[in-house]
Structure 1
Amino acid sequence: MELSYRWVIVAAGALMSCVAIGTMFSLAIFLEPMAIDTQWSRAGISSAMTLNFLVMGLGGFAWGALSDRFGARIVVATGAVLLGLALVVASRAGSLLTFQISYGVLVGLAASAFFAPMIALTTAWFDTNRGLAVSLVSAGMGVAPMTISPFARWLISAYEWRTAMFDIGIMAWVLLLPAVLLVRQPPKPAVAGGASAPVAEGTGMSVAQALRSPQFIVLGLTFFACCAAHSGPIFHMVSYAMLCGVAPMAAVTIYSVEGLAGLGGRLLYGVLADRLGVKPVLIAGLVVQAIVIAAYLSVSQLDQFYVLAVIFGATYGGVMPLYAVLAREYFGQRILGTVFGAATMLSSLGMALGPLAGGMVFDAYASYHWLFIGSALIGLGAAGIAIAFPPLPRRQLQLA
């Protein structure tokens, strides 16, 4: 029973990541109707997404530390209540500043309560197939563009953006609060004589030592650059496609195709990482990501967008869970929530760059070309940094 329950943890984590990230990224769907209705600038609205990621980074570190101390359930329960409340409040914002605070700060704080705690909890439940399990939890993010985004677009078309955002807030409560009840800590492992097991290099480290280690520095910088590279293209993809002449609803489907491909990419990269090793799979994925971002500059037709969306979605979706697996291998389970929360904080700073930079680029040049050029260069930089990862620890503890 205990062995099979670990897949319930995976399912709960996938649902939570889908709802949390899906509601947050749905701002990309709200961007156009909000700008038309309120006359707020695209940069101003997009800055709420930047605040999302800044707050999400700080929150991820804090929530991760709290989950190490108190367990994941209380953390994700708090996040579930706050997420629905934040969306309801944001839907009633009467000024850009109010919207930026309610959506940018509160939604980011709430969304950060799920990823690091549930990833850390999942790694604690799995000794084998850990890469696949973490990828499945992260796959909820890939499902989000296929579910939350089209649902948001349909609500906006049927009603208007405020009603749509309010309804999504209520939906978040309905889905997340029951899922919280499924979250529990793994059973204590039994120690068997004569066994051998891999030992994480950082198991004996304190948090301070871990955060100053070369392993964490490379992990954090790679995670930052990776997210800085893909955040802008992801967030502004719908608007970019519409500028290229793609119809609004069809443009949203590009985002959905990315999400579907990301789901498959997470499974593929998770299996490859278990078989070939995390580091080479990560580096290859980062190189492909950079190439595909640059390729968007040469497309204008819907079918061309679809082709690149499959590759782009599979790549950025596939590499994201690998950072958690690396953190678990380097630092062990005891401080994983805190360490991965700190890495997530750096990644969130990278995610914060793209939406704001894209909005500023568009407001200045009425074009997204420089966004894609800069993002591709940053993506290549991420691959270069990842090459400096130290070898993964594979020491064996032999028990007499």
Structure 2
Amino acid sequence: MTSELVPPHPAETSTPPRLHYAWLVAAIAFLALVGAASFRAAPSILIDPLHEDFGWSRAAISSAVSINLVLYGLTSPFAAALMEKFGMRKVVTAALLLVAAGSGLTVFMTAQWQLVLLWGVLVGLGTGSMALAFVATVVDRWFVARRGLVTGILTAGSAAGQLVFLPILAMISEHYSWQVVALTVAVSALAVVPLVLLFLRNKPSDVGTVPYGAAPDHAEPAPPPPSGRGGAATRALSVLVGAARTRVFWLLAGTFAICGASTNGLVGTHFVPAAHDHGMPTTAAASLLAVIGIFDVVGTVASGWFTDRFDARKLLGTYYLLRGISLVFLPILFAATVHPPMIAFVIFYGLDWVATVPPTVALCRKHFGADAPIVFGWVLASHQIGAGLVAFLAGLVRDHVGGYDAAFYVAGGLCAIAAAMSLAIRGRTAEPAAV
């Protein structure tokens, strides 16, 4: 039997702790999200090396990335339900181990189906269990105050971790091999496991406290009603059935599908190959994505702060419109060297990268109450379906047309549609859509 490090109950200490335990939970969640993000940084820099080593087409390699992105989203609501049943610590630990196994075993692959199994299935399930529904669960359970801000910080950790890893992994790939990149990712995921086991807790009462910002006599929400023999799966599906009867769910799912298509699916997967097509070195292109990640931290944390104070619908409309404008201009900015207009794009786009998450989480919480983490998991599933579809289609476009310009123009137009959909969300609690 393993012993657990359990913080003392407040009654057992002579002085109250200076730092609320919720902030330690948020810090561990941040590190877990960064550890998982290390793999999500790898595909964009490994497409060309895998193409050269195995002769697989970019569309074929992108199909494994697509499966990963889709499973990342589809796993999320079930993982949120599993966290309700078994606790965050067990689910996150298992997820990190899946990421490490899926990435580490790629060094032994010899066939394309193995790439799909390891990159697509194993890592997709692992990263999906630590998707943004995990963020929503941490925030809802551990915070009453500063929810928007904490959502922004954790979301930034997930997205920025992915991008900041890029130049490191690109350098490793260039000086060593793609196999060393895969092993580096596995080690990064494993390194977070001890911290999760020692410090991550399921709910405030586990350490004798209340959520941050709650009154001392705050009562924890009642557990969800029994979901029958199906357990977590039935719970996740029943929440989906209820949410799918509302108009606001489909608007949020549609906008987030476009969000995924225009970030992870297109820029996250294909920016480096697109820049390389114009003669830019892979390390330079990866460094630009890392800079996007740095500005993403600023933009997403600021978005969380704004979400605590302003209309989430209007924030979403603004973010999507600005993102669409930037993507339309991107094709004319690619060149063999980095120049000021490209730097301007990187800063502008980086501020908007996942700024959409805090207001989307806030709208889920407003319209769906206690079911919000699972509902957001389904909304995230649409995000990843959009991302996976565009990751594959953009690779297909590159194989048949010889460039990515059309993909960027279409993504810009879709973002304009997402802006209009965001503003169409009603400001009051959702009601079932008319049939």
TM-score, structure 2 as length reference: 0.83
CA shift in 2, pair 1:21/1:212, >3 Å:
farther
Residue in 1 that maps onto 2:138: 121
The answer for unaligned runs of 5 or more in structure 2 is: 1-16, 219-234, 431-435
Q: Secondary structure at the match of 1:317?
A: coil
* Alignment-mate amino acid for residue 300 of structure 1: F
Corresponding residue to 1:315 among 320, 330, 352: 352
Partners of 2:175 and 2:428 lie apart in 1 by 52
Residue in 2 that maps onto 1:97: 113
2:390 maps to 1:357: no
1:9–1:122 contact (8 Å) kept in structure 2: no
Q: 1:25-104, aligned counterparts within 5 Å?
A: 25-104=41-120
Partners of 1:321 and 1:38 lie apart in 2 by 41
* Alignment-mate amino acid for residue 357 of structure 1: L
2:247 maps to 1:219: no
Partners of 1:145 and 1:294 lie apart in 2 by 24
2:66–2:391 contact (8 Å) kept in structure 1: yes
Query: Deviation per CA, 1:59-93, whole angstroms, max 9, x where unpaired?
Result: 11211111122221111111011110110112321
2:186 maps to 1:169: yes
2:328 maps to 1:328: no
Residue in 1 that maps onto 2:147: 130
Cα deviation, residue 264, structure 1: 0.9
Corresponding residue to 2:376 among 312, 336, 340: 340
The answer for unaligned runs of 5 or more in structure 1 is: 196-204, 395-400
Cα deviation, residue 146, structure 1: 4.9
1:19–1:148 contact (8 Å) kept in structure 2: no
Partners of 1:176 and 1:151 lie apart in 2 by 22
Partners of 1:338 and 1:3 lie apart in 2 by 29
* Alignment-mate amino acid for residue 73 of structure 1: R
Deviates more, 1:174-183 or 1:350-359: 174-183
% same residue: 24
* Alignment-mate amino acid for residue 189 of structure 2: A
Corresponding residue to 2:299 among 242, 258, 265: 265
2:38–2:185 contact (8 Å) kept in structure 1: no
Cα deviation, residue 329, structure 1: 2.0
Partners of 1:146 and 1:377 lie apart in 2 by 24
* Alignment-mate amino acid for residue 253 of structure 2: G
Cα deviation, residue 393, structure 1: 5.2
Cα deviation, residue 266, structure 1: 0.5
Corresponding residue to 2:317 among 261, 279, 283: 283
1:90–1:102 contact (8 Å) kept in structure 2: yes
* Alignment-mate amino acid for residue 259 of structure 2: C
CA shift in 2, pair 1:325/1:131, >3 Å:
same
Alignment size in residue pairs: 384
Corresponding residue to 2:273 among 229, 236, 239: 239
Cα deviation, residue 192, structure 1: 6.9
Cα deviation, residue 337, structure 1: 2.9
TM-score, structure 1 as length reference: 0.90
Cα deviation, residue 347, structure 1: 1.1
Partners of 1:312 and 1:54 lie apart in 2 by 23
* Alignment-mate amino acid for residue 90 of structure 1: T
Residue in 2 that maps onto 1:178: 195
Corresponding residue to 1:111 among 123, 127, 148: 127
Residue in 1 that maps onto 2:227: none
1:119–1:137 contact (8 Å) kept in structure 2: no
2:148–2:304 contact (8 Å) kept in structure 1: yes
Cα deviation, residue 3, structure 1: 6.5
Partners of 1:83 and 1:392 lie apart in 2 by 40
Residue in 2 that maps onto 1:201: none
Q: Secondary structure at the match of 1:66?
A: helix
CA shift in 2, pair 1:117/1:146, >3 Å:
closer
* Alignment-mate amino acid for residue 136 of structure 2: I
Q: Secondary structure at the match of 2:355?
A: helix
* Alignment-mate amino acid for residue 266 of structure 1: T
Corresponding residue to 1:24 among 40, 43, 50: 40
Partners of 2:75 and 2:377 lie apart in 1 by 8
2:267 maps to 1:251: no
Cα deviation, residue 35, structure 1: 1.1
